[in-house]
Structure 1
Amino acid sequence: MSERPITKGPVAKGPVAKGPVAKALLTKPCCDDDVPGGVNAGDPRVALVGNPNVGKSTLFNMLTGARQRIGNWPGKTVSVAQGTWRSPNGEITLIDLPGTYSLVPGSPDEALTRDLLVDRGMGGRPDLVVITVDAANLARNLYLLAQVMETGVPLVVALTMVDIAESRGIRVDAGRLSELIGAPVVPLVPRRGEGVAEFDRVVARALAAPRRPALPVLGEDMEAALASITAEVPAETAVRYPARWLSIALLTGEDVPGVPEETAAAARAAGAALSGGEPAGDDEPDDPELLVAEQRYAWVHEVIAEVVTRRGAGRATWSDRVDRVLTSRWSGPPIFLAVMWAVFALTTKAAAPLMAGFQGLVDGPVSTGAGRLLDALGAGGAIRGLVLNGLIAGVGQVLSFVPLMAIMFVLLSVLEDSGYLARAAFVVDRLMRVIGLPGRAFLPLIVGFGCNVPALAGTRILSDRRHRLLTGLLIPFVTCSARLTVYVLVATAFFGSAAGTVVFAMYVLSIALVIGMGLLLRGTLFRGMAEEPLVLDLPPYRLPAVRVIGAQSWVKLQAFLKTASGIIVATVTLVWLLSSIPFGGQGSFGRTPIEHSVFGAASHAVAPAFAPSGFGDWHASAALITGFVAKEAVVSTMAQTYSMGEPADGHQPGGLGGALRATIEQTSHGHPVPAVLAFLVFLLAYTPCMTTVAAQRVEIGGRLTLFGIGMQLTLAWLLAVAVFRVGSLFL
């Protein structure tokens, strides 16, 4: 792709200060002589840092593609995305740190970002920091940039959103900004690949010869106070922390591990002198913190005056006009519901023929070919049953849902990349406040529609512990993508062309359960929770980029398949083993009808509990039992029990749906619609999976996790009974 000039001024090659304004805005870093080393023995490590919604993750996805992984940082409970950037200058390990507005952390995610930048004793520190800065909202981003500069880490500024800035009449002089901060600044439009070649060259130079940025000047009195604190820092402490950052942290009252009490006392005295009074007590306002913030903002305003020019300021943009509709308290909620209905309707309709074709391939050529191969190998009945009726029937049924998951991930990625999902968080902020949660809690709940496990990890963005606990109890009621496969199978079997509307209704019910249980818990276990205002940057509306959508969807689909495949194979094998062991003396191993096996006996024992709900059959209870382990296994267990239980009926593609209809017709005594709705409601409300339970235990503790399991099972059973009993009166 050819590159065009996208902002004014050249890309600076290094820290150069010119003119009186530049001298007033920066100083040479006098207090921190050592610089973090260059490239590691292995691949160099580059960390992406920035405010939320400034294009940081878009840049990460563009540079790494599908070569990325998400996992907890070593020794932490914070999930971080890492990937391999195959640049022309060699492979680079890229770390996408959680978005933050400040290096004064208010959540575990933000604490990780701060610690990686300032704690030299922490493993896995980056060799270089790339801080993404939104050119369209430069003032808002420069505060974090000032804090990163104070850590002394080598950095490169990625100036993103320059196309959006230009459309608003904003031009940023990248060359002048580079001179003022003493670090390279590269204008970028990551979604279109513009500026990437120059970005690669600048990052390579910065890794080869790391240099510290300049330090923002915070005023004569503040600089004197910081110098006095720096003089009191012991040598062993200065080795661990950057002197400038440490002095400011102590001055503003942060509790920094490993700092002697004498040094902290000197910082309190300096702060008292700076604020014109005695050392502040615990209950008094932290005046030095406010003074530091004021000086940083003064620096920000001076930089803005130097580098930003505007034309046509004050005019309402088309984005503003659209937001008046999409974020309105009256039109916003129905538009949100309509968008989500369209997503699920389109997902089910577009995926149906692909799923049918895939299932036909598995049931036909794959099963036939596998059977002939087993015959040629002389495989016995037990092995043949495991392969054909277990692995192929179960795994094949679930893999047929790959088109469904792919389409859904693409559509949700389109909504996210276009900027709409951030507006959705704003729309539901009022709703979240009803249950005592801040609008930010909507973000992990949205993640829960993909998978509850990362959603639970996402609660760490909430600063209040009680908010995190309440959100952690509510997330299992958010219907995840694994449950979607069951919804589609059952809804298609019973409701045909209206399946999309039924699936959408399940998602609406999921939201209703979150609200209802939130109100109940707020009035009981979580009385008196403090309110927290919603602070959220609304990203600009953008045309989704095919490359970004493809990378995001592929990573999500890979994660789903990786999780589902292992769970399904293990569950199918266990179900086959238990189904091969005779119960009650009938048959022998591998030669017993499944309903007379150990697994069948357990399913028969549980089935009466669901009789009041209209689906008291052992096939349904068997699927729900394995669903407690993982919802991905529900469909495979259904396929397994029916094909193993009735091997002579020659199930054709779609036969599973027909068998399920026949079962529900019998158990509901002529009321199949309310019975199947009751089954779907129970599936929605009861415990998602054991992985979610494990994640809950980490995030909210063992006692609340056990309470949550009991709450979910009780509510699921009561709702299922109510749906069937009331529905039987009308349907």
Structure 2
Amino acid sequence: MTTPDFSACKCSDTGLKTAPEGAPIIALIGAPNSGKSTLFNGLTGARVQMGNWPGTSVEISRGAWGTYDLIDFPGAYSLDAHSPDEAFTRAMIVEAAPEDRPDVVMVAVDAASLERGLYMVAQLLESPHRVVVVVTKSDVAADAGQSLDVAALSAATGCPVVAVDPRHRRGLDQVENAIAVALAREPWRREAPASCCVDELELIDDRYAWIENATAKAMTVGEAPKSTLTEKIDRFALHPVAGPLLFLAVMWVVFQITTTVAAPIQDAVSGFFEGPLSDWTSGLLGLLHIDSSLVRGLLIDGLIVGVGTVLSFAPLMALMFLCLAVLEDSGYMARAAVVTDRVMKAIGLPGKAFIPIVVGFGCNVPAISSTRVLSQRDHRIMTALLVPFASCSARLTVYAMLGATFFPGHSGTVVFAMYVISIALIVCMGWVFRRLLWRTLGTEALVIDLPVYQIPGLRLAASVTWTRVKGFLQTAGGIIVICVAAVFALQSTPVTSGYSFADEDLPVAESAYGEIASAVAPVFKPAGFDSWSISGTLVTGFIAKEAVISTWAQTYALEDPSDESAADQGSSALAGAIREDFDTASGGHSIAAIWAFMVFLLAYTPCVATMAALKREIGWKWTFFAVGVELTTAWVLAVAVFNVLRVWF
């Protein structure tokens, strides 16, 4: 047996266990919402590498599964290439030479939609492959009055077939046995009428006849309940008026839980970095007789305070990711796509464009990559231009801090309001883009599975949450350390005579950082925050939004505001310094200025990683266009918000 050479796939190293060299390659394919990703996570135990396949922009997941190398291909309903993702899957599995194909192709099939899942199996078996059919959601089919005979389906298709429950990790050992059986056989194919080779319509008819025969032999259909719980809930959740209201209510609850529960944990983490850890580090430097202001400044005021301030938001991120994982696993997020389909069509985008935008509320970078699910290039470009207006989790940390600083007791509502503004901005900018750039842009019907509602699995939700939090920490951690070091170097470099590098007496305003920030600050005078210590954070925020908080922590730590300056307002010195700064810059209209600042933060360029993703997906021309539009929109909106709100505040 020849092992296909899939070594070209060099995914980013996560430090996790990889399959041994020369291990059999198992390709996992299937429709969205078929349980494919859950099956992949269950088999690999989250020992996953993710990255782009060399020479393409298609992102895949790859992990070690015992002695096998498991590759999770993008979700697809068939092997007909209608999008870059589907074209990639077809090229790697169907169009590749036999010796270059995976050793086994494992197809995840939803038992409740057996006929649709078997269509991909029929396509695969038109050329020699080792195929294993993994049937998921048998419990859902049973609730609908359907009973599947696994042995009969195996006999009808000629493939090893196993039924599993990947959410609860049941039957996974049977999958390994089925793979071993498939590997022991030579690749096989199903026989099709000779006339099908020249007539595509006859070939399609033959596939459906084969599927109907297999289904008739394997599936027994009993009496289905007249009205299921899912149908009852969907009458409200999918209602054209009640549905959107429910969606907003659910999101409000998520942000209330996130900010309220996380607040005391954040305070404890932040207090640890600013208190005991800083004191221990200072004591250790004293024991080592290190009195250098450069070392002390970089370690304590820079890395510990700056990085610690950002890390204090990890509990908030974990809670948000947990809430979203619960919503996804319950089946509700698929309904959210249907609810927003009407809005997507109004701006000329298909309902599937909702998927990248939703991903964008977690991180804009993978969201831009996921625009490949759209078949038309114009749809992909327009969606990629809109994704940066989706308020990512990095911006959430800034909203949460400012909400707690200026609106104590109502920070959850403030964060929720920023996400509502983000959604409104996406819709408005989509309408503008369509009117100005794509007047003749057509749309597509939304095709999406609506899974039945189910009680979320705690283990699965925890696994998804940990994966996302770990990704946030890995991404933010490296960037923040670099930003902290760069900001410290700039704040330690004097631009006036009489000071040396890292001089303890050097005012930040007279450093290179202060000079750069002061040059930028006048641009924001109409928006109410003409202050070098405020506008400077927007410069580092261009690299990563998490750097806004760490830069503030460094700036005010070097300015050394006393605890007493904020004691009368019952909050930390950092919060007190920020409040005072905004109040001075805005001429006493700090509430109007902080809303203007948050709106600017929402609308301007997310980060350099997002720019790189845009360049990769839509090219430099559209990337520069996107940056220009984002900066212009952000400034105009910030000025408008400040000048309107200062009438009342």
TM-score range, shorter chain: over 0.9
* Counterpart-to-counterpart distance in 1, 2:499 and 2:279: 27
Q: Deviations over 1:698-719 (max 9, x none)?
A: 1111111111111111111111
Pick from 151, 172, 175: which aligns with 1:175?
Answer: 151
Pick from 536, 557, 574: which aligns with 1:622?
Answer: 536
Match of 2:108 in 1: 132
The reply on whether 1:597 has 2:545 as its aligned counterpart is: no
Report if the CA contact (8 A) 2:491-2:512 is conserved. yes
* Superposition pairs of residues 152-551 of structure 1, within 5 angstroms: 152-207=128-183, 209-215=184-190, 217-219=191-193, 221-222=195-196, 226=197, 271=198, 288-313=199-224, 315-379=226-290, 380-551=292-463
* Counterpart-to-counterpart distance in 2, 1:154 and 1:500: 52
Match of 2:15 in 1: none
Report if the CA contact (8 A) 1:181-1:214 is conserved. no
* CA shift in 2, pair 1:377/1:319, >3 Å: same
Shift of 1:378: 2.7
* Counterpart-to-counterpart distance in 2, 1:691 and 1:204: 42
Find the residue that maps to 1:589 and give its secondary structure: coil
Find the residue that maps to 2:575 and give its secondary structure: helix
Q: Deviations over 1:568-603 (max 9, x none)?
A: 011110011111110122411001221110011111
TM-score (norm 1): 0.83
Report if the CA contact (8 A) 2:127-2:189 is conserved. no
Shift of 1:35: 7.8
Report if the CA contact (8 A) 2:4-2:99 is conserved. no
Pick from 115, 120, 124: which aligns with 2:91?
Answer: 115
Find the residue that maps to 1:678 and give its secondary structure: helix
Find the residue that maps to 1:729 and give its secondary structure: coil
Structure showing greater relative contact order (alpha-carbon pairs closer than 8 Å, 6 or more residues apart): 1
Shift of 1:551: 1.4
Shift of 1:393: 0.9
Pick from 615, 620, 624: which aligns with 1:702?
Answer: 620
* CA shift in 2, pair 1:500/1:648, >3 Å: closer
Shift of 1:203: 2.2
Pick from 483, 502, 507: which aligns with 1:571?
Answer: 483
Q: Deviations over 1:223-272 (max 9, x none)?
A: xxx3xxxxxxxxxxxxxxxxxxxxxxxxxxxxxxxxxxxxxxxxxxxx3x
Report if the CA contact (8 A) 2:94-2:124 is conserved. no
Report if the CA contact (8 A) 1:696-1:705 is conserved. yes
* Counterpart-to-counterpart distance in 1, 2:189 and 2:552: 64
Find the residue that maps to 1:629 and give its secondary structure: coil
One-letter amino acid of the counterpart of residue 185, structure 1: V
TM-score (norm 2): 0.94
Find the residue that maps to 1:385 and give its secondary structure: helix
Shift of 1:290: 2.6
Report if the CA contact (8 A) 1:66-1:554 is conserved. no
* Counterpart-to-counterpart distance in 2, 1:647 and 1:40: 56
* Counterpart-to-counterpart distance in 2, 1:614 and 1:133: 56
Match of 2:579 in 1: 661
* CA shift in 2, pair 1:299/1:412, >3 Å: same
Find the residue that maps to 2:352 and give its secondary structure: helix
One-letter amino acid of the counterpart of residue 71, structure 2: I
* CA shift in 2, pair 1:37/1:698, >3 Å: closer
* Counterpart-to-counterpart distance in 2, 1:568 and 1:80: 27
| Percentage identity across paired residues of the two chains | 48
* Counterpart-to-counterpart distance in 2, 1:661 and 1:41: 57
Gap runs ≥5 in structure 1: 1-33, 227-270, 272-287
Pick from 74, 80, 100: which aligns with 2:60?
Answer: 80
Q: How many residues align?
A: 629
The reply on whether 1:150 has 2:126 as its aligned counterpart is: yes
* Counterpart-to-counterpart distance in 1, 2:236 and 2:607: 39
Output the aligned Cα RMSD: 1.9
* Counterpart-to-counterpart distance in 2, 1:69 and 1:341: 33
Report if the CA contact (8 A) 2:521-2:535 is conserved. yes
The reply on whether 1:66 has 2:46 as its aligned counterpart is: yes
* Counterpart-to-counterpart distance in 1, 2:442 and 2:645: 40
Pick from 559, 578, 583: which aligns with 1:645?
Answer: 559
Report if the CA contact (8 A) 1:130-1:156 is conserved. yes
Match of 1:29 in 2: none
Find the residue that maps to 1:696 and give its secondary structure: helix
Report if the CA contact (8 A) 2:3-2:24 is conserved. no
The reply on whether 1:555 has 2:467 as its aligned counterpart is: yes
One-letter amino acid of the counterpart of residue 212, structure 1: P
Shift of 1:675: 0.8
One-letter amino acid of the counterpart of residue 191, structure 1: R
One-letter amino acid of the counterpart of residue 375, structure 1: G
Shift of 1:201: 2.3
Shift of 1:210: 3.9
Report if the CA contact (8 A) 2:126-2:192 is conserved. no
* Counterpart-to-counterpart distance in 1, 2:488 and 2:358: 36
* Superposition pairs of residues 577-592 of structure 1, within 5 angstroms: 577-591=489-503, 592=506
Report if the CA contact (8 A) 2:195-2:202 is conserved. no
Match of 2:634 in 1: 716
Q: Deviations over 1:555-575 (max 9, x none)?
A: 111111111011001111001
Structure number, greater radius of gyration:
1
Gap runs ≥5 in structure 2: 6-18
The range that moved more, 646-655 or 391-400, is 646-655
Q: Deviations over 1:450-496 (max 9, x none)?
A: 10000000000000000001001111000000000000000100001
* Counterpart-to-counterpart distance in 2, 1:158 and 1:389: 55
Shift of 1:83: 1.8
Find the residue that maps to 1:150 and give its secondary structure: coil
One-letter amino acid of the counterpart of residue 439, structure 1: G
